Amino acid sequence: MIRRMLVLSLFLFTLSVATSAFGGKKEVKLTPIVGRLDLKPLVPMLNKGEVTLVESYRSGKLRQVTIVGLVKATPTKVWDVLTDYEHYLKFMPSLVEVEITKKQGADTIITYELEVPGINMDYSLRHHHEPKSRIDISLADDEGDITTGAWRWDLVPHENGTQTMLIYSLYTDVSESSWFIRQALKSQPSMEHGLNIASGLVTLQAIKKKAEK
């Protein structure tokens, strides 16, 4: 079900190539839950699977989604997987090309091509690293097929550092994708929430699976 939702969301994104009326990237600020929420009470649930926190504005529009997973690997191992961009093609779903275009200090700019039905998506992201605790990801330019979005990884040691609470926060404005999805959101506003949740879960689970090998 999650993979079908992700494929649907990515397919709708591709329609923006021909129908989007928006241009230029837009800044998105995520509010991390680390330091804002006590994560310890989540442990019993995390032992059964991922926990999702959905935050919305009073209007009901999505603010951000946060996925929390418990990885049976050290923060160092998880960090190594997260930053192993050269090998993303081997374990990240739907990626067909990953190219590191620039490294400067704590920043790495990467161009991605995502395989979806129809026309593949191309976009560049700036990864800002705070070893080995956080990665802030933002759009590197306004030339890609994604115009509004932000992503963030947080790593919190657990069980004396033998395990890791992996936290993935994200927001992508799917309403910008196309006329079709904007019409769908008018009748089903929660679709935006569901598509962000689906993409977040698939991404975190791919990292977790690789780190626990």
Residue 119 is predicted with a pLDDT of 77
pLDDT at 35 over 70: yes
Q: Which domains does the chain have, with CATH numbers?
A: 2-19+26-211 (3.30.530.20)
Question: What is the average pLDDT value for the chain, to the nearest integer?
Answer: 86
What's the pTM? 0.85
Helix axes 190-211, 2-14, angle to 10 degrees: 120
DSSP H helix total and E strand total for the chain: 7, 8
- Bridge partners of 165, per DSSP, are 70, 156
What are the CA-CA distances from residue 5 to residues 11, 89, 151, 200 (Å)?
A: 10, 21, 19, 11
Per-residue confidence (pLDDT) for residue 7, from 0 to 100: 46
| Per-residue confidence (pLDDT) for residue 145, from 0 to 100 | 79
Q: Which of 15-29, 53-67, 154-168 has the lowest mean pLDDT?
A: 15-29
Residue 180, pLDDT > 90, answer no
For the ranges 9-18, 19-28, 74-83, 128-137, the lowest mean pLDDT is seen at 9-18
Q: Kindly indicate the confidence band of residue 128, based on its pLDDT and cuts at 50, 70 and 90.
A: very high
- C-alpha span between 20 and 137 (Å, rounded): 23
Contact 159, 144 (CB under 8 A): no
DSSP 8-state secondary structure symbol assigned to residue 148: B
Specify the pLDDT at position 24. 64
CA distance 155 to 210: 15
For residue 183, pLDDT beyond 80 = no
Percent of the chain with pLDDT over 90: 66
The tokens for 121 are 């998506």
Residue 133 belongs to what H/E stretch?
A: none
Q: Residue 187 above 90 pLDDT?
A: no
**Contact between 147 and 26 (Cβ < 8 Å):** yes
Q: What is the mean pLDDT of residues 89-107?
A: 96
Instruction: Please report the pLDDT score of residue 1 as a whole number.
Output: 55
In the numeric block, which tokens belong to residue 68? Answer: 């929390």
Please say if the pLDDT value at position 160 is more than 80: yes
Rounded to the nearest 10°, the torsion over CA 93, 194, 174, 65 is -90
Contact residues for 9 (Cβ-Cβ < 8 A; gap 6+): 174, 195, 198, 199
Task: Compare 129 and 20 and report the one with higher pLDDT.
Answer: 129
